[in-house]
Structures are given as C-alpha cells and as structure tokens.
Structure 1
Amino acid sequence: MLRITNSIKKYLLLVMLVLLPTYSQAKPQVEPVQIKVEQLTNNLGVIWSMEFVSPTEILFTIRSGKLGIYDLSSNLVQWVEGLPEIHAHSQGGLLDVAKSPDYDQTGWLYFTYSKEDFDTSKTTLARAKLVNHQLKEWQEILVTDSASHRNIHYGSRIAFDDQGHLFFSVGDRGLRAPAQNNENHIGSIIRLNLDGSVPDDNPFVGHSRFKPEIWSYGHRNPQGLVFDMQRNVLWAIEHGPRGGDEINRIEKGKNYGWPVVSQGQEYGFDKAVGVKQKAGMVNPEYVYIPSIAPSDLLVYSGDEFSMWQGSLLTGALVLRHLNRVILNQQMLPAGEYRALTDLNERIRSLAIDDKGRVYVGTDSGKILRLTQAEYSLRTHEKEKN
C-alpha cells in the first residue's frame, strides 16, 4: 500500500492549486448607488449600439437594419438614409457604430453588420460620414472570412486605442472549431489601422497562411469590447455556453481557448464544454456562473457617478440588469454589483455623455438615461405634464 507522506500531500496540494483556474468570481452585490431612470424613447426595436455624435445627439443602430438619431433637446428621432443591404436575421443585422478618435476632423463613423454572401453571412466592417441625416462615402473596410449558414455569434463590437488602431470582434458563428484556426477570422479580435490597412506589428503578419488582421483568437462571441485608456488595456466580455461568460484582458497573439477551454456546460445536458484550462491558453479574468448574457462594455468615467470611476459596465440580456465590475490596482476584478434588476429589461447597449450620465439601450426599443438620485422610473411624457 502506498504511504502518503506529508511531502507527497504538499506536492499533491500544489498540483491541485496549479490546475485550478485562476479567474475571479466574486459574489454579486446590490448596487449601493441610488439611480434615477428616465425613459427617453420606446418601441424602436433592438437598440444594438449607441454613440454620441454631438453633446445632444445620440446615433443608434437598430438590429433590423435601421440607423437613427435621437435629439436630446427636442426628444425627437430622425432616421438616417444611405445604409447598404443588411442581412437582418436572428442575431444578425446592423450591429455596432463607433465614431473615429479623430471624428471632429474627419467625420468617419465605423459600422459592423452582417452581410449576405450567397446562402451564408459574414461579419463586416465599414465606414461612412454623416451629412444631413444621410450616410456618405460608404466604404467596406473588411468583409471577414467568417461565413456561416447559422445567423448567430457575429461578435461585432468596435474599440479604438490611442495609437491609431481599430479593434473589432468576430464570434465563432456557431461553428466552434474554426475559432482555433487562424486561417479564417472566426472567433477572433481583429486589429487594423483606421484606414483599414494591417499594422506591421500584428502578430501574424508575414505568416504564409494565417490572417494578418487577427490580434487574438479562441473567442466564442465577444459582444463587448473597450480600450481602457487609463490602464492601457483592451477588455472584452463574451458569451459562454450555458454558464461561463468571460471578461478577458486581450493581448497580442494570445489564444483564449474556445472551444478547447470553457467554463460552461453544453446546452440541454450537464456536460462540460472542453476543459477548464490548458497550457498555452489564457484564463479569463472574471467568469459569470450562471451566465448573465453580457452585451456592450464600457469603462466608466465622469462626474455623475463618482463611485463608479474606472469600473467596467456591461448590460445583461438574460439576467436583465446593469452589471458593474470594480477593478483593483492590479487591474483584476475585485467586486461585482448589479442594478436596474426591477426594470426587467434586456440591456443591449450603453453610452456615457460628457457629464457622466449613463444611457441604456434595450431590446424593447427604449433609451433610458441614468442619473444619481432617488430611484424612480418616469417618462419624458410625465415630466412634461
């Protein structure tokens, strides 16, 4: 019989600690900040993205293939013309919109959407200029190699760093295995120059077969992406399968594991998807179990919610709340807070104005404005009376 000595016990304990995932999973808390909610719009459709193009104008996308401007001063919506044909089926459609860092000088707006390609569709990046409620100079920048017959997992969130680069995400398109194959764009985060050219220092530039646009890979469906200017970090939040939504710190050339590594379960039965971790694949910084189904992702900055400075904000589609994650000095998640749970809204998109007020877009077609005050829900119609 093998005798288990103290030395062997210590060795086994060390092995177990090494094999355990290193991600954080804090117990969610109720948001301590009191929030006032004002309803600005209703019944617009799935508001996938919002972007301030002036201090009083929010440009927003409707997944079904419409682009609108909400004017805060007049409380009116005007629709924008000039979009191309959009493949609006299931999770596909008109997705993200983001203004260029040099928008005041160039006027460029960047869009992602699903584009039909025979009997498949692909995540596509384009840019255009907004002139008198019309899009002008439409340019397709990259039609990704992400063709799938399944109308799901397009990824599609856009972010910019402070060095003239654009990042955008492409989901696994429901195909899983190609997310580990860099000969396509499936399950990747892409990095380009603002004009669409490939930066010389991208990790796979010069490789004979790999796509040079890829910055990171092994992603399932990142629908939140933000560049943290203060910390110089690119953050992504992505949907896991049943359980295992992830916040990841995105780094050059890294493999984030999907579908070899996952913290979630198969749909319909209790079987793990892949393994919990594997050498050479990056562990998430934070995991949600059960899944919240995350959407947009922002780093909060502003005066309205001083307690939120530097926190990550995301929307939850399934558990229906506003999710806030605190980051400590080591840039690790150190606490999770949940707000707006009583609204019962699928929160799809987020924006912050120059005063730090937070705007929420929902799948029911509402734009809500959040300010710090005694919590109440009211509409503009009630305020006018």
Structure 2
Amino acid sequence: MSRARLALIAFLPLLAPQPALAEPAVETVTDDLHHPWALAFLPDGEVLVTERRGRLWRVDPATGERQAIDGVPEVDHRNQGGLLDVLAHPAHADNQWIYLTWAGRCDGGNATHLGRGQLEGKRLVDFKTLHVATPCVDSRIHFGSRLAFDRDGYLFMTVGDRGERDRAQDLADHNGSVLRFHDNGRIPADNPFVDQADAEDAIFSYGHRNPQGATTHPQTGRVWIHEHGPRGGDEINIPAAGENFGWPIQTYGREYAGPEIAPNEVEGVIGPLHHWTPSIAPSGMTFYDHATTPTWQGNLFVGALAKRHLARLQLDGERVVSEKQWLKEREWRIRDVELGPDGALWVITDHADGRLLRLTPD
C-alpha cells in the first residue's frame, strides 16, 4: 500500500463526526402552551414562561406543573404583538423584581412597553410601566422586545423598527434601537445621546431592524443581540454606545420582491459579526457557560423560526468559526433558548400547542 494511501487512512478518523457536535437528547417538560414567547429562570430553578396572548406561567422544572401569575399588564395581542419578554433581576433572590416587555396600546396605535413588578407567589405586585418606546405606531409588527442585563447592572431593551424602516435611523424615535436603563428605568447620565437635543436619551445604539435575541457574554459581560433581516441579512451584533448598525442604509438583506435594499458595507456604519443569508428568522439566544457539558462550553445557541432549528455556533473570540443545525427534523419554530441552572439548554417552541423543552447531551 502506498504511503499516500496510508496517510489518507490515518487521516480519515479526523473527518468523522465529532461527539461535540452530536444532537442533544430532548425532553418535553410541559406542552399545550399557546404561542409562548420567552422563558426565564428564577433563583430556585423554577421557570417563567410568557404567552403572547397575555399569560405568564410559573413552571416547576421537575414536574412540568404550572401556575398562572396574576398582575400582568393588558397587552395588544395582534399579529406579532402581545406579552413578550420576561427577565428576573440579577438580585431577584433579594428583591423579587421581574421585568416584562409587551405590545401595549397608546396614542395613535401601540408601542413596545417595559415594566417591572415583584413576584409574590402567584402574583406580580407593585407593577409599574418603566418605559414606552415612542412614538406610538399603527403597526402590528417588529416590536423587538428582548431584555438583558450587562455585567455593570445596566438593563438593555431592544425595539424593532415597527415595519417602518426609516425610523431606525431617526434618533428622535425609539423604534429601531437598543435602549439602556438603570434597573429602575431611569436613563443613565452617560447614555450617548443624553445631551443631544434632537435625540432620545434612552437610545444606546441604532440602525436595528427587529432584534429578537439578547444575551450577556459570560466573559466580557457585554450584551450581544441578533436581529431579523428582510430576506437574508439576519445579523449578530454587539451594541456599542452611539453606534449606527446600518438598517436600512446597510444590509445584506433584500426586498421581499427581489432587489437589493442597500450596500453590504457603508463607511461609518458597524457591520455584523455574523449574518445569515438566506434568513433563518432568529429568535432567542444564549451562551453556554456551565461545567456540566464541556463540549458545549462557550458556544452560542440561537433559535430559528423560519428554518426551524436550533443553531449551535462555535466561536473564536467574536468570530463564528462553525455552525451546526440541531432539531431540524423536528420542524419546530424555536422562539427562545436559555441556559438553565442545571446546565441543560431550555427551549420553547412557537406554536398554538407550544412546548417547553430540556436539552441535554445524548
């Protein structure tokens, strides 16, 4: 046998599928959830799940039993609207604060709202609206609405362009932006546009289309987001103070009818760390940072609605070096994914009979 053939045979095992990329085992914790939108963990391991029609559930992760939480605000449940994200305060064990975002009616239409209340058993008490992303718009789409705390304790909130793309370049308009607050809803004095008369103080970054994923990097403490493109051009970005992320003057996406919308690169505009073209319709995102599964450590997981899978992205710093599609054969619309305190990945599916799933190494 030739040396070349021996070398090829020696190399073949390296080409075989690696255990680190194996599909996970899937357990249904609870089902019959009506279009769930978000999930969040409490310090005791219980799970909070929102349904767009305006319900908030408290789920026992061991049994799947759930209790409805009262005190939720009235929502505008039409098309993409309704009760959206949920997030526990980093110090929830001490203060019991729970944050919600929702589509709510207001003058001239509706808007993405932010509020918080204290969770006492089966009820939110002292619930207050902290912010309304104005101006109100007569639209039923692109609410954005993901929440994340960075390492410094600032609360970030994403807001979509409401289907009116030029709003994302208008600093006098909250829509199409990432907003930044203190945990009580106050606007930080060092937000980038606080001293600019024709800009909204809450805006941290702008030029975003419809960001429906947000998570905090476990090492850097910075918030990462992803956002929907129109037909291609879904993006992963790291919001930066005062920066323009391009929509709609820079995008890899195309009009639904066909032509290009704008150049892929524009001077002075921040390009994406990663983009999906064609679109996967990303929703929900989390980093894996747990000792339970070392082969998943440092990976970024993203739900996909249109392409119906869970994307596993392996990173080298801020660069995506490989991507794997999990659960594709299940044909589930993955709406949200979170790392649980048990080291499992927890996922919700966006269907009229949606599921809360627990994913572990097979």
TM-score using structure 1 length = 0.86
Displacement of 1:303 in angstroms is: 2.9
Matched with 1:337 is 324
CA drift of 1:146 comes to 4.1
Structure 2 match to 1:313:
301
* Residue aligning to 2:279: 291
- Indicate the residue corresponding to 1:382 in structure 2: none
CA distance in 2, matches of 1:173, 1:254: 20
SS across alignment from 2:295: helix
Please give the secondary structure, in 2, of the residue aligned with 1:88: coil
Once superposed, what is the RMSD of the aligned Cα atoms?
Answer: 1.5
1:125 corresponds, among 114, 128, 131, to: 114
Identical pairs, percent: 38
- What one-letter code is carried by the residue in structure 2 that aligns with 1:303? A
Change (3 A) 1:56 1:226: closer
Of 236-245 and 48-57, deviating more is 48-57
5+ long unaligned stretches in structure 1: 1-28, 374-385
Map of 1:64 onto structure 2: 53
Structure number with higher relative contact order (C-alpha < 8 Å, ≥ 6 residues apart): 1
Structure 1 SS opposite 2:31: coil
What does residue 85 of structure 2 align with? 96
Residue 30 of structure 1, CA deviation: 11
Q: Distance in 2 between matches of 1:355 and 1:256?
A: 35
Question: Are the counterparts in 2 of residues 240 and 246 from structure 1 also a CA contact under 8 Å?
Answer: yes
Q: How many residues align?
A: 343
Instruction: Give the equivalent residue in structure 2 for 1:222.
Output: 211
Aligned 1:271-290 pairs, distance under 5 A: 271-290=259-278
Q: Who is 1:83 aligned against?
A: 72
Give me the whole-angstrom Cα distance separating, in 1, the residues matched to 2:210 and 2:234.
10
Q: Cα offset for 1:231?
A: 2.3
Deviations 1:223-263 (A, max 9, x none): 00112130233211000011110011211110001011110
TM-score (norm 2): 0.92
Counterpart CA distance in 1 for 2:212 and 2:235 is 11
Could you tell me which runs of 5 or more consecutive residues in structure 2 were left unpaired when the two chains were aligned: 1-17
Identify if the C-alpha distance between structure 1 residues 56 and 193 changes in structure 2 by more than 3 Å, giving closer, same or farther.
closer
The question of 1:108 aligning with 2:97 is answered yes
How much has 1:73 moved relative to structure 2?
Answer: 3.1
- 1:307 match: secondary structure: helix
Instruction: Please name the residue that 2:232 is paired with.
Output: 243
- Structure-to-structure mapping, 1:159-174, within 5 angstroms: 159-174=148-163
Quote how far apart the aligned CAs of 1:210 are: 0.5
Q: Counterparts of 1:270 and 1:81 in 2: how far apart (Å)?
A: 46
8 Å CA contact retained: 2:20, 2:296 = no
Q: Are residues 1:143 and 2:132 paired? A: yes
* Aligned counterparts of 1:154 and 1:260: Cα–Cα separation in 2: 20
Match of residue 381 from structure 1: none
Q: Which moved more, 1:111-120 or 1:207-216?
A: 111-120
- Partner Cα distance (1:270, 1:116) in 2: 34
Which residue type is aligned with residue 339 of structure 2?
I
Residues 315 and 323 in structure 1, CA contact (< 8 A), matched pair in contact too: yes
Q: Which runs of 4+ in 1 moved over 3 A?
A: none
